Structure 1
Amino acid sequence: MNYKTISRLFFWALALTLAFASIARAATPDIQDLKSSYYKDHPGKGKHGQYWEPIPIQKYWNPKDFYKPPATVQGEKTSAECTTCHQALTPGAYHAWKTSVHANLDNIRNLSNGADARYYKKQKLEEVEQNLRKQGLLAEGEPLKEVGCIDCHGGVGAKSVDHGKKLVMPDRAACGTCHVDQFAESEAEKKQEWPQGQWPKGHPSHAQDWKANVETAIWAGMPEREIAQGCDMCHYQQNKCDGCHTRHSFSVAEARQPEACATCHNGVDHNEYENFQLSKHGTIYQTLGKAKWNFEAQLKDAVTKGGYTAPTCQYCHFEFEGEFSHNLVRKVRWGFNPTTAIADNLNHPWFQDRKEAWQKTCENCHSASFAEAYLTTADKGTISGLKVEQEAKKVVEALHKDGLLPGQKTNRPAPPAPEKDAAGGFFQLFWAKGNNPSAVERVHADMWEHDLIKLYKGLFHANPGGFTYTEGWSELMKDYTLIMDENTKLREGKSHTSQAEPEAKSIRQAFIDDLSNRYVLGTALAGAGIIVIRRRRR
């Protein structure tokens, strides 16, 4: 090979290297653009903000808008001073940090064995350092020694922070300073658009869960702010990352286990955790996974290096066509709860493509025919439950329209503004006064917000006892029966009153006439008695 050929090959190799580097740089999101978009789109107090004021604890769920540094400590403090002080004041938080990767970056940097499940973190650390260099927060060639108190609570690379004036509670964008790709992936959930507008853009998702909360009318209107704030403790993932990566350890091994999801995804309308744990997937996780699986392995290596023999919540919901990311809605089809607008459009390409993506996920363990058959079963089972709920809904709305609900004309206070009255509305799960809601409405609210969702989520999480009997279909049947029974009673009562009205009037009139006659007779007798007494006295 002559010199010219070697030179030519070297030139093309260099050109290709630069081209790929350019593509890589173009593919890396710009953190400043991400942060700017994040803060611009953040709803703050939301469109109903005039109706509520934050209580003190809410500064931790939405630090961007509500957090203020404590006045108890003043002056510039270094990271070393922070650790010394908090080692005594909040030892739990200190030790969580001290044993974390943030405090021990060299343990990752010095990994040399590619067989170690954590080895991928070495590349991640290099990516973090490169991100910081691009932002001018780390000098070229300088390693990141640790992520200390000041880096999160004062700004990455800061030497000190004015504790009483500049201290911050880290939000999602602060985490994004280092973890750019993860921040970008999670923010990408906001771009999701439903083909027939079944949900607003970006909903439902973790990236819009705070907005979904504060712009719910009854949440904003109810005076019991401590109860409303209970929703904030889950609906803050739009604001922070520690809902999954618990402070101050921020462990990915923890965040990969189903229990990490359990705090929020449990209960009557978020019962994914219970369904998973009681499914065969959950049984395998509980009997084998906790003891044998390696949760330090990243999700893409969960089977080969982690030893997984069944999926976890994270494995299914982070995966999309073989890739794993913090965008968890790329396969969303039914959303948070079933609606007719979704059920009537499942044949649309948007929904079909997502069903195929789910099928590919299932095919990591199951045959294609099994995966397709089960997903179709879950779809049809959900539609069956939706039909029952919709029939009951029409009955309740008709009772409301006809003015037949108990107390509707005499004792039905309006819900607190900005909420508006409605039959079987969401607000009736959180507020009650007089006959609002009536019993039949409360049953329907339970039916669509609880029973139907439990059926749907039990089906898709493969918990047969949950969706067929204990929580799903059986509860739907019970509440359907109660609604139909009450409908019959209320309507028969109206019919009886209508037919008996003339007779009732004649009875009432006879009673009045009888009272009148008794009054006249009594008056006459009384008068006669007075005359007799007077005559005797004379």
Structure 2
Amino acid sequence: MNMNKNIKKIFLFVVVFTLVSYGFVTVANVHAEVKLGKLANGEGKWGKFWKPIEMYQWWDPEHYFEPDNDVEGTFSGAECLNCHKTITPGIVNDWKASKHSAALVTCDKCHGNDHQKLGMSPPDTCGVDGCHAKQVKQFKSELETGHPSHARAFHPDVVEAGWQISKPQPEVAGCAQCHSIENKCDACHFRHSFKASEARQPETCGYCHNGPDHRDIECYQSSAHGVITRIDGDNWDWNKTSEAGNYRAPTCAYCHMHKGTHNAVENTVYAHMGVLEVDRGAEGYASKRKAWVNICNDCHSSRFAAAYLRGADETVKVSHAKVREAKAVIEDLHKDGFLEAMPKDLAPFLDEGHKWNLGGRMYNITEIERTWFDMLVYQGTTIFKAAFHMAADWQTYVAAFQQDESLLKVKSEASKLRRIKALEEKAGISHVPYDFWKKGEYTDSLTVIDKPVKSESEHPKAEHPK
């Protein structure tokens, strides 16, 4: 009896010791210091001003990924599978159910066979001869189209545009995560099954195409097309190509990747997701609009399609009229020096110092400027997305009416600023902008990107003029 008790005690000790040891190892691994390596510096013309966070290794693997494992040696695909069926069985099961498995495209074909030099596959790897060369060629042809495009999403639109230096890296990580579609095919073809049938479904596109500046999935889901897909989509064969007769209602891929093309913007009319108004007399406009009508012809008459698209153009045109009206009010305030605060009284930006710029900034600007930004980038884009995706409520009652409210706010704020300035001049008051416009725990992180945000105890209190 005592012997059994002693055995139980020893057993419990071993179990507890093992769990505690595992816990220490796990905590140590989680909090281990990151070896910077390729992550030591950013890239592009603004590279010296920013440093990529750890996840850039997976979002831009060609530039930043470095293998970090203790296994040495070169291995065949069969050897990889034999080991990983125990270590990562879910990945192996996905692969076994994929077309890669049937074609004997094993782990080493994409990641390499040297365990110390493993890589994450860029599109060029997927596009080697005999694999997906046609699709990758189509994808890269988006580079000729301009903005926006998947092929320009990361390096031109994020890196070269200097997005990293406008805000702290951890705060804009979501941008890099979705914009990484330029760098890897599994943004749409989820690993390790890589099913085209998944990529054709709206939910896949909605993983990134959602939110206030690109409400594609929200607008699509509230349209007749989206409603039909939600009602009946479970009965469809998603393995069929995006061609006439294969689907009861169009999806994102059906219209934007018609017949399977991987150039999703070859017929794009509006640049930058509707924040720029289209010139309907421009060269190429008529042919691109005709291409859209031809796609609509799979289900609708040309007359109906052309009429609807012209109406959507007019909707966007009206929204830009509001944006221009608000912009003129703010520009006059800037010319007269009435903004609170003026650019010279704000924290400097690394790219432009104290230069005034209405575009692309969400902080370190005045409230009236931010309201204008929302009018254009959030409300204006939603109007554009809603109009062309047939989302009636989003188009009118949400975005257009919100834009009305923003225009009123701009005018009301401008009126207050001018009246206050007039009263100050009449009373002989010389106002000195408050110090909090230039300094603050968060604001300091905008001006020196390569330094961490100071803790509350380290941060000096800003002194404000009386």
Q: 1:48–1:418: 8 Å Cα contact kept in structure 2? A: no
> Rg larger in 1 or in 2?
1
Report the Cα offset of residue 440 of structure 1. Answer: 1.0
Report the Cα offset of residue 269 of structure 1. Answer: 0.8
Q: Matches of 2:85 and 2:329 in 1, distance apart? A: 62
Look up the SS of the partner of 1:486 in the other structure.
helix
Look up the SS of the partner of 1:489 in the other structure.
helix
Unaligned runs of 5+ in 2: 1-41, 431-466
Q: Matches of 1:419 and 1:95 in 2, distance apart? A: 53
Structure 1 equivalent of residue 43 of structure 2: 45
Count of aligned positions: 386
The one-letter code matched in structure 1 to 2:400 is W
Structure 1 equivalent of residue 456 of structure 2: none
Q: Matches of 2:291 and 2:143 in 1, distance apart? A: 20
Q: 2:327–2:372: 8 Å Cα contact kept in structure 1? A: yes
Matched, 1:167 2:109: no
Equivalent of 2:419 in 472, 478, 492: 492
CA deviations 1:502-525 (Å, max 9, x no partner) are xx89xxxxxxxxxxxxxxxxxxxx
Q: 1:217–1:418: 8 Å Cα contact kept in structure 2? A: no
Structure 1 equivalent of residue 33 of structure 2: none
Matches within 5 A, 1:9-48: 45-48=43-46
Matches within 5 A, 1:130-529: 146-154=104-112, 161-164=113-116, 166-177=117-128, 178-192=131-145, 202-211=146-155, 212-222=157-167, 224-289=168-233, 291-300=234-243, 303=245, 306=246, 308-319=247-258, 323-338=259-274, 342-343=277-278, 345-408=279-342, 411-417=345-351, 421-427=355-361, 429=362, 432=363, 436-470=364-398, 472-501=399-428
With the length of structure 1 as denominator, give the TM-score of the two structures: 0.69
Q: Matches of 1:278 and 1:409 in 2, distance apart? A: 41
The one-letter code matched in structure 2 to 1:296 is N
Q: Matches of 1:148 and 1:419 in 2, distance apart? A: 52
Distance 1:61 1:366, change over 3 A: same
CA deviations 1:329-365 (Å, max 9, x no partner) are 111001223356x43x212241111111111111111
Q: 1:188–1:327: 8 Å Cα contact kept in structure 2? A: yes
The one-letter code matched in structure 2 to 1:190 is L
The one-letter code matched in structure 2 to 1:170 is S
Distance 1:280 1:409, change over 3 A: closer
Matched, 1:83 2:22: no
Matched, 1:97 2:25: no
Q: 1:221–1:419: 8 Å Cα contact kept in structure 2? A: no
Report the Cα offset of residue 238 of structure 1. Answer: 1.5
Q: Matches of 1:220 and 1:93 in 2, distance apart? A: 36
Matches within 5 A, 1:100-111: 100-105=98-103
Report the Cα offset of residue 270 of structure 1. Answer: 1.2
Report the Cα offset of residue 228 of structure 1. Answer: 2.5
Distance 1:265 1:416, change over 3 A: same
With the length of structure 2 as denominator, give the TM-score of the two structures: 0.79
Q: Matches of 1:270 and 1:333 in 2, distance apart? A: 16
CA deviations 1:248-283 (Å, max 9, x no partner) are 110000001111101110001111111101100000
Look up the SS of the partner of 1:246 in the other structure.
coil
Look up the SS of the partner of 2:173 in the other structure.
helix
The one-letter code matched in structure 1 to 2:92 is Y
Q: Matches of 2:102 and 2:153 in 1, distance apart? A: 33
Q: 2:275–2:380: 8 Å Cα contact kept in structure 1? A: no
* Greater Cα offset, 359-368 or 376-385: 359-368
Matches within 5 A, 1:64-75: 64-75=62-73
